[in-house]
Structure 1
């Protein structure tokens, strides 16, 4: 929701008056009436989002053969984005961006993906995280006004394994459990030093947030302790929980956020998909002071902002996060490239494409497959602006280059979840980078990405 002080700048006067009236009505609405009204609206917005997903994607559960994530969840195979009628991927790749735009042939699944209810925004969690958190801690992370939208088979495995840079000999130190306030000490007391253990404690501690707090302006049925860092970044990875960015206005331009993995944070030098914060400590402070409350300081003060102390809290949290490692990649050598004796011919061909014709390595160099920079893909050159379920499809601007190590464990892809599989991702970049890969080359490139 936009801050009321921003209304005159961003919307026409008539719309501003209507919005101001709705805000005033909301302020006067008691909590029981709010719950009743939003629950009545819930089904229509869920139906709208499901209709969009079905129009864009093949959502079937179709796993790849003999390829799994680190703990065994199948990786989904194949291109899921649906093509405009009468065209093919080869035909599209042969067209210039100007022709694709003029003929309105940009695939619907390549447009920005809206939040499950974009006008409402806010944190939304997948069902397995909600259920396990409630089981362990009695905290309820469900919302009375909306539910998560993407099917579970298209999401990362849950709970994800945890690997530590300091103890690679231990393998998965989570022991197959979701790490929460109830079990973190028992799992890590003999592995971490006291400072790191305190950092982990803070990462699993819930703090008030815009939708989850103790005021009547919340989206949980009962007063809530709030949200923990590891509610989205479950086990230091991701569960694909989503949100809308707090630092873009007006609301229609705000991005749906894909929760990135925290694995390999020690090798990263930029934080936030677009904010380009220079340290993870900066990011932690930003989240607590602003992003948790939609960038509205008045809401933060009223709902219970938790201002963390840099030296004794933020730094401890960052120290633990810097220990989170990527899963083992047995086919890679010490330089982060395929060892010829361990890789298939298709994987080796894919690697050659990655570092050559496909141009992937320009932004994603080995060994960690990130350049720690930001790039503007200028995707808007392929389509005309339009509204999609409350989200205006327009220019995204520069986006951080995220590491591709263990990328098969982190679906869906791109900064807003619009790409469901690695095959979708290859088709997207084949068009955006104008690489002109043929069908076999695209398959080989996917085979290589699955080894990282």
Structure 2
């Protein structure tokens, strides 16, 4: 075989590992400080990462919300000046904010699931299971992540409020928490959602990224308490590696009203997504690796259905200012919130995709962000167009930072500036403030 043939790109991962595990781990541990320094320099260049909590505004469970636009602009430019330019001008002058570019994985060439430290610590405490990776760490500060553990609300028992009782639901406590509240099939669904199964980086083989052989990862390790903890991964269905998109864990709240699953995959049911995750995404879309590491094939008619039955009763957090049509009750809302609603359904063009009452149209849209910048490499990732992305629901949006499918937007203010630029809506400062007030009560 010719040398160039041996190095030809492949869609498949190496199955036979020729380096001893101890050697791999020592090499990656030595590389880790430099790798993380490079990623954190990128984060600091893109964002203001200081702790600036909003006054009198918290997530549903009480965690402070970070306020302010955190995406940094080039010297001499303002948001008003930027939004007055055409996409072509911004691209030509290289003025597109770096924080609006796709966010690379903390180790793009390696990829895989990465968990925030608070999740790792709690699972060690409860189960003695360790989701620490020896090759990299989480890269977004905790202040920009969802509250932990998140409240759990059920569509079947809205009278109970938060049924989590302030605990992270795991294999240790799921039964005592839900026995008497759920039917037996739903309880079995919860059991499967908190049961760890082998995954690309967490398994028993020599190409894992945990020090010790691992039982694996559970669905609720990312979708903590049916919400999200901000864990990230790479999408399983794009090749080559440098083009794969980072994906932030979405909340499972309100899954019952959704009709598309996966940010870009357009899977049609939560059952399809559950099965896809176990067969493909857990192993980066590689069935050969899945066989090697211990794929867990779920039975569609019983196990997958039971998991879906529980997921589909996970409710949005209460929004007491909204009426049954999903819009503000004028007797309960402030002037700023009512004005923000007008911006949302009017000048902001938000409702063209995020329709009431659940603030999603259950479709996919291509924002064509590549109008604003030229493709280029960023920490091992090729920054190009995102392509079609599904419309995420905005109900309970204040509970689920960071935003966009890859978590590149740290605050709601960042999100407002992003869409003001991309949609070319030219909102003024007051309209942006009012829109923020509205988003915070959804």
2:182 aligns with one of 192, 198, 213? 192
In structure 2, what is the Cα distance between the partners aligned to 1:152 and 1:89? Answer: 27
In structure 1, what is the Cα distance between the partners aligned to 2:207 and 2:436? Answer: 45
Structure 1's 312 and 232: CA in aligned 2 closer, same or farther, altered over 3 A?
A: same
Match in the other structure for 1:130: 120
Matched, 1:301 2:285: no
Match in the other structure for 1:37: 27
Matched, 1:311 2:301: yes
Matched, 1:382 2:372: yes
In structure 2, what is the Cα distance between the partners aligned to 1:220 and 1:386? Answer: 32
Match in the other structure for 2:169: 179
In structure 1, what is the Cα distance between the partners aligned to 2:394 and 2:48? Answer: 24
In structure 1, what is the Cα distance between the partners aligned to 2:7 and 2:218? Answer: 37
Matched, 1:367 2:357: yes
Q: 2:15·2:288 contact (CA, 8 Å) conserved in 1?
A: no
1:352 aligns with one of 317, 339, 342? 342
Q: 2:72·2:98 contact (CA, 8 Å) conserved in 1?
A: yes
Match in the other structure for 1:121: 111
**Aligned alpha-carbon RMSD (Å):** 1.5
Matched, 1:214 2:197: no
Structure 1's 228 and 259: CA in aligned 2 closer, same or farther, altered over 3 A?
A: same
Structure 1's 387 and 15: CA in aligned 2 closer, same or farther, altered over 3 A?
A: farther
Match in the other structure for 1:166: 156
In structure 2, what is the Cα distance between the partners aligned to 1:25 and 1:167? Answer: 47
Query: Within 5 Å, which residues of 2 pair with 1:65-144?
Result: 65-144=55-134
In structure 2, what is the Cα distance between the partners aligned to 1:281 and 1:24? Answer: 30
Shift of 1:27: 2.1
In structure 2, what is the Cα distance between the partners aligned to 1:70 and 1:125? Answer: 22
Instruction: List runs of 5+ in structure 2 lacking aligned partners.
Output: none
Query: Within 5 Å, which residues of 2 pair with 1:393-412?
Result: 393-412=383-402
In structure 1, what is the Cα distance between the partners aligned to 2:331 and 2:5? Answer: 64
Deviation string 1:309-331 (CA, Å, 9 cap, x unpaired) is 00110000000000000010011
Q: What is the SS of the residue equivalent to 1:27? A: coil
Structure 1's 94 and 135: CA in aligned 2 closer, same or farther, altered over 3 A?
A: same
In structure 1, what is the Cα distance between the partners aligned to 2:108 and 2:432? Answer: 33
How many equivalent pairs are there?
Answer: 439
Matched, 1:250 2:240: yes
Q: What is the SS of the residue equivalent to 2:17? A: helix
Q: What is the SS of the residue equivalent to 1:163? A: coil
Shift of 1:306: 0.3
Q: What TM-score do the two structures reach when normalised by structure 2?
A: 0.97
In structure 2, what is the Cα distance between the partners aligned to 1:208 and 1:25? Answer: 16
In structure 2, what is the Cα distance between the partners aligned to 1:24 and 1:371? Answer: 41
In structure 2, what is the Cα distance between the partners aligned to 1:242 and 1:47? Answer: 18
Q: What is the SS of the residue equivalent to 2:317? A: coil
Instruction: List runs of 5+ in structure 1 lacking aligned partners.
Output: 1-7
Match in the other structure for 2:52: 62
Q: 2:32·2:135 contact (CA, 8 Å) conserved in 1?
A: yes
